[in-house]
């Protein structure tokens, strides 16, 4: 029987971006450097030495981009604010020119019928705070973040209803502090968990401040969630999947929504001597903050089998293990994963050209699991397909593979709505092509092609892709054309 449930009339059909990936203009109008401005210049860290100095020049072309959003019929646009545009040194004087850019962007969006969705932190910490305090490893950055949040809440709170605190905390802490593939270029798992805890405290602080200053707004974190499956029905594999979900998802989500860390994972980290220090004041702060929704960034999940080793009997011996080795590639290093689960390939799933699994059913599973655990509305803040798009001589991009991907995932989202899960909206990643962090400009996600590549900024001309016109029809029909 076909479901009669339709997408809600106020459903926010949207798309997303992030400041460093699109804006360019790294020193314009008094902007200070971020850790990405610095990190991307380190030889060998990014593909072909790509960086965000120009990006797709959204800073100077935002009006053109907003007009394209209006023509598409977009209902919402998620973007991030570059902290160092607002406060160049992170915790000092306010840069009014930088703040005005976002005031103007919000006004332009609203004038074109597009709901702004503002992300406070999408990985670009002011470099001055990294130099002065050691970045997220210092509790002093919490106060600096709160000061920055207060500035933008007071200036934009009356015009922006939806706010995101942190984008993919699980990603930027792991890649930045465990694997040294993002800034601040650290490879130390103990420092990773310590920094992650401080980010949790900053998140709670921001949410509490927001509820005081913007009582009619809604705020929540955006989390990179992926459900983890057991490889087989072997109970050992099932237990490994429970472990993996708590390690990969609940370690962050439980803190956001309940103010507590999962007991099993905390015990494992304590066994290894890498658990964060949580004070009674920390515990009280984390429990006091209540997000209004959960931002879901979904690309794929994972599959696991039973772990490769068991918890050693003499746990005290583990406290002196060098955490650098634990985070490295040493085959004999004892990592949390080795005690909890072992990741394997899923033979039932196709992959993108970049090797990411494609699992739209997992999207529906994610909605169900998140809502049943936390009973909060869900806002899809990222979902999309990165691919090698080709611009034809007629300036067209025939990205039927992206259309198929988005259609499958939106049908899964509709399945979640049919199941009774409240979903605020869907912001596809991304509106225009952009800098794909370490992957340069040739890994494209956008509805709009931007004429540039890794080695040449070219004209930066915008060309709507086939997926742009497809999404335009989906929005106009309130999702009815997804069945076509």
Instruction: Report, as residue numbers or ranges, the catalytic residues.
Output: 382
What is the Cα–Cα distance from 456 to 448, expressed in whole angstroms?
Answer: 18
Q: Please give the sequence-ordered ranges of beta strands (E in DSSP) within 22-131, or none if there are none.
A: 76-80, 115-121
Q: Other CB atoms closer than 10 Å to residue 360's CB: what's the count?
A: 21
Closest CA to 406 of 369, 443, 363: 363
Peptide bond into 305 cis (omega under 30): no
First to last CA, the chain: 17
H-state helical runs in 214-335: 235-245, 251-258, 263-271, 280-288, 323-327
455 CB-near residues (< 8 Å, 6+ apart): 48
User: Measured between alpha carbons, how far is 23 from 41 in angstroms, rounded to an integer?
Assistant: 17
User: HSE on the CB side for 142, CA within 13 Å?
Assistant: 21
User: 190: buried, middle or exposed (CB in 10 Å: 19+, 13-18, 0-12)?
Assistant: buried
Return the percent helix, strand and coil in the chain, to nearest 5: 45, 15, 40
How many other C-beta atoms are found inside a 10 Å radius of the C-beta of residue 416? 21
CA atoms within 13 A on the CB side of 27: 1
Rounded Cα–Cα distance for residues 375 and 60 (Å): 41
Question: DSSP E strands: which ranges in 53-155?
Answer: 76-80, 115-121
Cα atoms in the Cβ-side hemisphere of radius 13 Å centred on 357: 20
State how far the Cα of 286 lies from the Cα of 466, in Å rounded to an integer: 45
* Coil/strand/helix, residue 157: coil
CA distance 335 to 349: 27
DSSP designation for 250: I
Q: What angle do CA 223, 228, 230 make, to 5 degrees?
A: 170
Is residue 272 a contact partner of residue 326, using CB atoms and an 8 Å limit?
A: yes
User: Is the dihedral angle over the CA atoms 339, 340, 346, 351 positive or is it negative?
Assistant: negative
């Amino acid at each position: 029987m076909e479901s009669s449930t339709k997408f809600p009339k106020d459903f926010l059909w949207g798309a997303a971006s992030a400041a460093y990936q699109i804006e360019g203009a790294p020193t314009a109008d008094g902007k200070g450097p971020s850790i990405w401005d610095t990190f991307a210049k380190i030889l060998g860290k990014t593909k072909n030495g790509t960086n965000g100095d120009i990006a797709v020049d959204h800073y100077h072309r935002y009006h053109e981009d907003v007009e394209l959003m209006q023509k598409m019929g977009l209902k919402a646009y998620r973007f991030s604010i570059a902290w160092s545009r607002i406060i160049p040194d992170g915790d000092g004087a306010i840069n009014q020119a930088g703040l005005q850019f976002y005031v103007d962007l919000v006004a332009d969006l609203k004038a074109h019928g597009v709901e702004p969705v503002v992300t406070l932190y999408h990985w670009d910490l002011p470099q001055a705070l990294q130099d002065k305090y050691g970045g997220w490893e210092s509790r002093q950055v919490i106060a600096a973040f709160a000061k920055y949040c207060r500035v933008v809440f007071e200036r934009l709170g009356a015009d922006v209803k939806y706010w995101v605190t942190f984008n993919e905390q699980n990603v930027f802490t792991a890649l930045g502090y465990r694997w040294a593939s993002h800034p601040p270029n650290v490879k130390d798992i103990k420092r990773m968990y310590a920094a992650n805890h401080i980010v949790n405290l900053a998140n709670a602080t921001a949410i509490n401040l927001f509820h005081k200053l913007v009582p009619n707004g809604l705020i929540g974190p955006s989390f990179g969630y992926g459900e983890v499956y057991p490889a087989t029905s072997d109970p050992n594999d099932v237990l490994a999947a429970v472990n993996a979900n708590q390690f990969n998802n609940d370690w962050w989500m439980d803190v956001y929504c309940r103010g507590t860390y999962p007991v099993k994972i905390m015990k494992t980290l304590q066994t290894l001597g890498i658990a964060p220090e949580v004070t009674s004041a920390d515990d009280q702060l984390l429990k006091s903050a209540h997000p209004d929704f959960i931002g879901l960034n979904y690309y794929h999940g994972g599959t696991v089998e039973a772990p490769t080793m068991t918890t050693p009997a003499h746990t005290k011996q583990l406290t002196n293990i060098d955490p650098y080795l634990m985070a490295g590639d040493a085959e004999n290093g004892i990592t949390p994963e080795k005690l909890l689960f072992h990741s394997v390939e899923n033979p039932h799933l196709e992959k993108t050209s970049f090797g990411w699994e494609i699992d739209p059913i997992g999207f529906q599973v994610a909605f169900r699991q998140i809502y049943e655990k936390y009973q909060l509305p869900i806002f899809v803040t990222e979902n999309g397909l990165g691919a090698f798009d080709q611009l034809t001589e007629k300036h067209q991009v025939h990205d039927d593979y992206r259309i198929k991907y988005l259609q499958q995932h939106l049908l899964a989202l509709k399945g979640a709505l049919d199941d009774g899960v409240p979903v605020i909206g869907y912001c596809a990643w991304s509106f225009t092509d952009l800098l794909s962090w370490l992957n340069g400009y040739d890994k494209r996600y956008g509805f709009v092609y931007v004429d540039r590549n890794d080695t040449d900024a070219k004209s930066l001309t915008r060309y709507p892709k086939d997926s742009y016109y497809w999404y335009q029809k989906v929005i106009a029909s309130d999702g009815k054309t997804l069945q076509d």
